Amino acid sequence: MKDVFIVVKTGATEIRKKLPALLESTLSCVPDSNFAIFSDYEEDLFGHHIHDVLASVRPSIKDHHPDFSLYRRMQELHGDLSALKPSDLISEKKAEHNGHGENKAWVLDKWKFGPLIQKALDMRPNKRWYVVMETDTYVYFPNLLSWMSTLDGSKPLYLGNQMSITPQIFAHGGAAMVISNPAMKKAAARRKRYEESYDDYTAHHWAGDAVLGHIMQDAGVELTWSWPIFLEHDFGEYDWNLTNYGKKLWCWPVGTYHHMDGGETKRLWKFESEWGRVNPKTRTMLHRDVFTDFAVPRILSKDLESLSSPGHFIHGDWDNLSELLGGQKPGPMNLSECGSMCESTPNCVQYSLFEGKCHINKSMRLGRKAEQTGEDGKTRSSGWIRERVEKFLEGMEECPEEVNWIKPGAKK
């Protein structure tokens, strides 16, 4: 860890909600000198100094550009977020990426990535590696450090979950990225030389991680495509049998998960700590291990087994991301009937009920807490069939003893 500097990017409107879980979990074992927290407002919180990463933005942009309206408002209010009005947070302008009213904090966020590189270098100019992450990113540092030990940090390397906004290929910011010292210096020098041009590019773009990817590309630093070590969603979102870019998720090492809420972060941290105690340090945690040792015991928890349908495990207020089943009878269905439909469907492993409609899935997903309330006043409930879960797991491949680490320059 002594060669690594962790750069945590956040914002004043989210930091109080998201940072505590991070400090109490993965960062709790990291020396304070090895990480810094960067936001859009300078303050002291939870025993740490929060740096204003936008302080160095050119005054012509910071003091006048409409993207900085929230930034200027927070300075006026001396960080008193309770005094912010809805109009301070959401604009009437439609966002390019989703067509909804623009979230001004999100718009402001895109300006952070360029200055972040220079700020990190100013603070720790001689670190071999820089890990850029967000407050809802879960980083499994034992694996990350093992992976970095196989890489040549004297070369300009930029690793992350590959994303594309045509024609730009870049590392997804929330999934975290690893950048070597030479790559940081090349990007910082390039941005400093053409700062006005990159400010104009940022103003007309909507994704800050894509802006950083553009700077890296211009600086001659190629992205190492790092899915599925880095993942842009939390583990509950993924089909356990997923294959992308010629790589199957199941047998690859855990690097990061994103969009982790505080509760899930703490649960996964507890699991990580226990898993580390019962497994040799030489063993690498794979996504398989998270699914089988962390997710399955939650899914098949004894206290959730249905009394009316033994072998079925029911989770209320939970969405296991099953898909709507076609050809259903008219009228609302109950969860027991939905479970029976799953049983009568070959290879169906899990199911859910929402607004009286049955959803099923032939693959495994843990899912997430249900948030949407239906017209019947109920949230989604989900179920799994133990026999089918066990059969599904038996059908999954054995993972090789040799660990797969992605190599720079390897075929994508």
Q: Per-residue pLDDT tens for 167-210?
A: 889 999 999 999 999 999 999 999 999 999 999 999 999 899 99
Q: Show the domain range for 362.
A: 302-395
The CATH number that applies at residue 311 is 3.50.4
96 pLDDT more than 60: no
Assign 331 a pLDDT band (cuts: 50, 70, 90).
Answer: confident
157 pLDDT more than 60: yes
pTM: 0.93
Element at 282 (helix H, strand E): none
Per-residue confidence (pLDDT) for residue 272, from 0 to 100: 96
Specify the 3-state DSSP secondary structure of 238: coil
Q: b/e for 337-353, b at 16 or more Cβ within 10 A? A: ebbbbbbebeebbbbbb
Q: Give the other-Cβ count within 10 Å of 300's Cβ.
A: 15
Tokens 């495994």 belong to residue: 364
Chosen domain end from 207, 225, 243: 225
Average pLDDT, the chain: 93
Q: Give the other-Cβ count within 10 Å of 193's Cβ.
A: 11
The CATH number that applies at residue 35 is 3.90.550.50
Peptide bond into 167 cis (omega under 30): yes
Nearest CA to 322 out of 338, 306, 311 is that of 338
Is residue 334 one of the residues assigned to a domain?
yes
Q: How far apart are the first and last CA of the chain?
A: 28
Q: Is 355 exposed, middle or buried (0-12, 13-18, 19+ CB in 10 A)?
A: middle
Are residues 73 and 176 both part of a single domain? yes
Is residue 407 one of the residues assigned to a domain?
no
Is residue 315 one of the residues assigned to a domain?
yes
Is residue 275 one of the residues assigned to a domain?
no
Are residues 195 and 320 both part of a single domain? no
Per-residue confidence (pLDDT) for residue 281, from 0 to 100: 86
Q: What pairing do the DSSP bridges indicate for beta strands 48-52 and 35-39?
A: parallel
Specify the 3-state DSSP secondary structure of 178: strand
Are residues 220 and 323 both part of a single domain? no
Is residue 113 one of the residues assigned to a domain?
yes
Is residue 242 one of the residues assigned to a domain?
no
How many domains, in total, are found in the chain?
A: 2
Tokens 């797991």 belong to residue: 393
